[in-house]
Copies of this chain bind each other. A is one copy, B any other.
Amino acid sequence: MTTVAAAQPVAPDGAAVRPRRLALVASKGTLDAAYPPLILAATAASLGWEVGIYFTFYGLDILHRKKHRRLKVAPLGNPAMPVPIPNLVGALPGMTAAATAMMRRWMKRSSLPDIPQFLEMARESGVRLFACSTTMGVMGVTPDDLMPGADIAGAAAFLDFAADADVSLFV
């Protein structure tokens, strides 16, 4: 948390001011749903905020070191896709792969890092990565499945962190 400490603001009378805090829940495991919490976390950390992300349910895939390089976008049932795909076509084999490849190209064109790079950057900026212990049990995720630096925590620990947050968001 050195980065955060270094950015900690100081009040006019010299007393340390508590930094802002952002508490995020990442509950989805698709490529498009993985970006918003990481973008918000990285932005907040760069502003000197304390940040924690609680990965739960399908969101655990974002912390999963075998899965997080292969998160996918489904075109099916998502009429808001930038290039909308009729559902019958979206159900054809290969369309999820095509939508995923398209989103990867967009992110690259906009110089956004991929998910593993983004997580590594977040961790280096002091962002805390919590894996939900309850859903690890439910979904059969083991500690060895998680990327290095992730902490296993229960919902009570997340609530304790979020209670003092300035902004809490469930993604």
Task: Give residues in A with beta carbon < 8 Å to B.
Answer: 20, 22-23, 25, 27-30, 32, 35-36, 39-40, 43-44, 46-47, 49, 56-58, 61, 71-74, 76-82, 86-88, 90-93, 95-96, 106-107, 109-110, 112, 134, 137-140, 154-156, 159, 162-171
Contact = CB atoms under 8 A, between A and B. Distances in A.
Contacts of A22: 159
A60 to B, nearest CB: 9
A86 B79 contact: no
Nearest to A70: B79
Chain copies in the assembly? 3
A57 B79 contact: no
Given A74-B79, A159-B167, 17 more contacts: A20-B159, A27-B171, A43-B159, A46-B156, A49-B159, A71-B79, A74-B78, A76-B77, A77-B78, A87-B90, A87-B91, A87-B96, A88-B91, A112-B134, A162-B166, A163-B167, A170-B170
A106 B138 contact: yes
Given A110-B138, A159-B47, A167-B159, A93 B88 contact: yes
A156 B96 contact: no
Nearest to A155: B43
Contacts of A96: 79, 87
Contacts of A88: 91-93
A128 B6 CA distance: 33
A9 to B, nearest CB: 12
25 contacts: A20-B159, A27-B171, A28-B80, A29-B79, A32-B57, A35-B57, A36-B57, A39-B134, A40-B155, A43-B159, A71-B80, A72-B79, A72-B80, A74-B79, A74-B87, A77-B90, A82-B139, A87-B91, A87-B96, A88-B93, A106-B139, A110-B134, A112-B134, A169-B169, A169-B170
